[in-house]
Amino acid sequence: MPEPLGVYEHGYTCREIVDLAAEYVEAALPAHESTLFELHLNFCDGCFRFIDQIRETAGLAARVGEDELPESLRADLLQAFRDWKRA
């Protein structure tokens, strides 16, 4: 898989793509920002694949109901998200 270039490329840097990924996938970015975001994806294979992986993960996660998760897995996931937000 090609690595993200990590530099400003056609609208956003790779780091900015990572920071805005959830908003983009959820269609929450304003139109102008979405255009710049997609411009970057057109030129950066690494970021394109990253966004594709997020979409795939979200699609798979949507199939699992919260009540279907074992309590220990649910607790581990919640802790991982809490730790991630602190970082």
Contact 12, 36 (CB under 8 A): yes
pLDDT tens-digit readout, 54-73: 999 888 888 888 788 888 98
Contact 14, 47 (CB under 8 A): yes
Q: Please report whether residue 3 resides in a domain.
A: no
Phi-psi region for residue 63, left (φ > 0), alpha (ψ -120 to 50) or beta?
A: alpha
Band (pLDDT 50/70/90 cuts) for residue 37 is very high
**How many structural domains is the chain composed of?**
1
Q: How far is the C-alpha of 79 from the C-alpha of 5, rounded, in Å?
A: 31
Band (pLDDT 50/70/90 cuts) for residue 1 is very low
Q: Please report whether residue 8 resides in a domain.
A: no
Q: Which domain holds residue 70?
A: 14-86
Q: Please report whether residue 63 resides in a domain.
A: yes
| Single pTM value for the model | 0.67
Does position 23 have pLDDT exceeding 90, yes or no? yes
Q: Please report whether residue 6 resides in a domain.
A: no
Q: CATH number, domain at 70?
A: 1.10.10
Q: Please report whether residue 46 resides in a domain.
A: yes
